[in-house]
Amino acid sequence: MFEGFEETRVDLGEASAFVRFGGEGPPVVLLHGHPRTSATWHRVAPLLAAAGHIVVCPDLRGYGRSRGPRFTADHAGYSKRAVAGDVVAVMRHLGHRRFALVGHDRGGAVALRLTLDHPDAVSRVVFADALPLTEHLSRAGVEFATQWWHWFFFAQPDIPERVINADPDAWYQGDPEVMGAENHAEWRRATRDPDVVRAMLEDYRAGLTVDRRHEEADRAAGRRLTCPTLTLWSLRDDLEDLYGDPLAIWRRWADDVTGHGIDSGHHVAEEAPEELAKALIDFLRPELEEDPSWKVN
């Protein structure tokens, strides 16, 4: 995987980030979702690099080979604000003060928080199979609760850890033929690590508590995304079925939104990498045409 890419670990004080990066040109950060690692991008990242981008793929805080702080009752150490700070610090470490940003699933929640908290750092943002957490919760009717019950199960103290760690292979099911053998092996190692499992649960616990409050504060203050925004959704997933037009929802949050569906299941980077990469390359094309002010002097 990731031929020609480098790997590094960035010390972030209370946390550390495992990062893959490669290519040349304006930078783009790819943020994975649950329960994947940065390896989920192994088919997409080389296509973006070949199109003229530096591509940076971190493991989110606590996922994969990244590590976070001790767990606390308020879950703040795994809030999207904390994880967004990790990404900004990683990019500064690599020499970039401004970058494009792509977030899938839970990575989309991080991308939203990063773009709202650090608007000068983000030139363009893409949300793939992702909505603001509060938009999910405000629409949590019977269908949502039935299909997305794991959100509320993960929020319970202690019980999810015991259930998942008793047989992680049965809980987290993945197909090596679909995922790619190396991606699958990396993901399987991560999901067998009790510390990773706990951190992934903390992601969801933060989502229903501190992250929800942060988004509610944004809405009350009228904060919006001002950079160009792309939303993509998998046509064989349930996002559109549950919520209707994702574009209409994102227009409540962003000034300049475009988007479309992709013929894929939920893990679009693994199932439809060429179509996803094309959508990203088309959206990021202005980055290649503008003055390269993304580089740090």
Active site residues: 105, 266
283 contacts: CB under 8 Å, gap ≥ 6 = 124, 126, 228, 230, 258
Largest Cα separation within the chain, whole Å, is 53
DSSP helix/strand/coil, 120: helix
Burial of 177 (0-12, 13-18, 19+ CB in 10 A): exposed
Q: Which helix (H) or strand (E) holds 214?
A: helix 210-221
Secondary structure of the chain: what % helix, strand, coil (to 5)? 50, 20, 35
158: Cβ–Cβ under 8 A, 6 or more apart, which residues? none
Contact partners, residue 149, CB within 8 Å, separation at least 6: none
What would the two tokens of residue 121 be? 């750092």
- Answer whether 136's CB lies under 8 Å from 150's CB: no
Task: Give how far Cα 51 sits from Cα of 26, 65, 93, Å.
Answer: 10, 28, 23
> Dihedral angle at the C-alpha atoms of 274, 35, 231, 68, nearest 10 degrees?
-120
Q: Comparing C-alpha atoms, which of 131, 126, 136 is closest to residue 257?
A: 126
Burial class (CB in 10 A: 0-12, 13-18, 19+), 261: middle
In contact, 42 and 182? CB cutoff 8 Å: yes
